[in-house]
């Protein structure tokens, strides 16, 4: 008689986790120059609230546009006084951005005080980042997290604004085995900076950029920011990232983009009166490319569907019978035969939940046994 199903036993099911990685290359021209005329790129969206700027891979008014990342600036309350020319409302926004990001990424200490961003990840001591620039990658790109040890961001950090030079590479070098777990947002690592000279990477302390990235880690490279893997957020110190050679930026090279009050375009002038969009525009102009691998955590349930030698030897398909006779048997003494083409997974209430199709039918007789492995990915 035909058998249409059997119950799973405890050892017929298991669960596994698989990490899938995808390489994400983001060229600098995507952030400035691909669509429209910088700084009014049509794939860059600005907002009247002025708290962040969004970059897309296509003009943002198009239904085909995908969100790439957001750019924003945050100041700690202890240094907001440096923004001497900003209105009170703009100051509060800058403080709110710092506090909201720090609350999510750093949390509070035992006294209920908001922790600052720490240059080496030691939240109890060491130098802190009071004025920071945030690059917040979209979930579309970072997925479940950024893969450790794969992040690299190349930026032109010196020279005139219209033709920046002096390439530096910001990366989470060695982070595959050296990362921090003391964040409420998950794992993160210190970003280090190296200088590109031809094909040679030189530690920043040995380069002209030593004054901006003076603190050095145990690997001999200078601290240059933080990367939060699950959150998909890069935290960059404004002093280092935007203050190279005091060349931030040459206001005469981009008409109407920067306020005339910046004068020579010094970092101090930018901190004093620069808007979030002006910081973001400078970042977009100087970034050459960003690359990393994302990670998708695939949860899988695996069911082992066992067909013993005396099971499933008769088909439940109506075409299997002709005038109430099994057509695949010429004589009543012939060995029963069936062909397995489909596996169905049912609930306790006999509801069909999932269907697995075989690439080709399996011939089943009392002389054969099979274990069919059905995998459900979530």
CB burial of residue 336 (10 Å; 0-12, 13-18, 19+): middle
pLDDT reported for residue 210: 41
Same structural domain for residues 40 and 86? yes
Using CA atoms, how far apart are residues 130 and 78, in angstroms rounded to an integer?
8
Helix runs in 76-209, H state only: 88-105, 139-142
pLDDT reported for residue 167: 75
Place 60 in a pLDDT band, splitting at 50, 70 and 90. very high
Residue 124 three-state SS: coil
Place 281 in a pLDDT band, splitting at 50, 70 and 90. confident
The residues with which 118 forms a beta bridge, in sequence order, are 128
CB atoms within 10 A of CB 271: 24
Same structural domain for residues 50 and 189? yes
Same structural domain for residues 241 and 338? no
pLDDT reported for residue 28: 78
Residue 141 lies in a domain: yes
Which of 278, 297, 316 lies at the terminal end of a domain, its last residue?
297
How long, in residues, is the chain?
A: 378
Which of 276, 297, 318 lies at the terminal end of a domain, its last residue?
297
Give the count of domains, the chain. 2
Residue 150 lies in a domain: yes
* Stretch 278-299: mean pLDDT: 89
Q: Which tokens in the block code for residue 205?
A: 């302390």
pLDDT reported for residue 241: 59
Same structural domain for residues 257 and 372? no
Residue span of the structural domain in which 218 resides = 21-297
pTM above 0.75, yes or no: yes
Same structural domain for residues 273 and 366? no
Q: Do the Cβ atoms of 194 and 215 come closer than 8 Å?
A: no
39 prior amide bond cis, ω within 30:
yes
pLDDT reported for residue 358: 94
């Amino acid at each position: 008689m035909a058998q249409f199903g059997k119950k799973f036993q405890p050892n017929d099911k298991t669960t596994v986790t698989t990490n899938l990685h995808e390489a994400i290359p983001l060229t600098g021209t995507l952030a400035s120059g691909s669509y429209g005329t910088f700084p009014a790129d049509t794939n860059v969206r600005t907002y009247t609230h002025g708290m962040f700027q969004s970059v897309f891979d296509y003009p943002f008014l198009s239904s085909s546009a995908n969100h790439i990342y957001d750019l924003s600036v945050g100041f700690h309350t202890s240094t907001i006084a440096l923004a001497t020319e900003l209105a009170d409302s703009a100051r509060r926004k800058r403080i709110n951005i710092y506090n909201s990001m720090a609350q999510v990424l750093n949390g509070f200490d035992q006294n209920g005080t908001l922790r600052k961003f720490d240059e080496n990840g030691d939240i109890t001591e060491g130098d802190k980042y009071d004025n920071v620039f945030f690059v917040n990658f979209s979930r579309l790109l970072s997925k479940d997290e950024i893969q450790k040890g794969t992040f690299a961001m190349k930026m032109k950090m010196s020279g005139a604004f219209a033709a920046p030079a002096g390439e530096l590479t910001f990366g989470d070098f060695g982070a595959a085995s050296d990362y921090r777990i003391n964040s409420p947002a998950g794992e993160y690592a210190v970003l280090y900076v190296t200088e590109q000279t031809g094909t040679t990477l030189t530690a920043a302390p040995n380069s002209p950029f030593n004054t901006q990235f003076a603190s050095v880690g145990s690997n001999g490279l200078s601290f240059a920011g933080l990367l939060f893997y699950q959150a998909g957020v890069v935290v960059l110190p404004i002093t280092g990232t935007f203050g190279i050679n005091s060349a931030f930026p040459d206001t005469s090279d981009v008409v109407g983009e920067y306020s005339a009050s910046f004068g020579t375009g010094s970092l101090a002038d930018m901190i004093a009166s620069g808007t979030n969009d002006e910081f973001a525009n400078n970042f977009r102009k100087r970034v050459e490319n960003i690359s990393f691998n994302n990670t998708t955590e695939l949860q899988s349930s695996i069911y082992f569907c066992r067909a013993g030698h005396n099971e499933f030897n008769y088909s439940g398909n109506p075409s299997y019978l002709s005038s109430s006779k099994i057509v695949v048997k010429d004589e009543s003494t012939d060995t029963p035969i069936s062909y397995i083409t489909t596996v169905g997974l049912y609930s306790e209430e006999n509801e069909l939940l999932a269907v697995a199709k075989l690439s080709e039918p399996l011939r089943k007789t009392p002389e054969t046994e099979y274990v069919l492995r059905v995998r459900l990915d979530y």
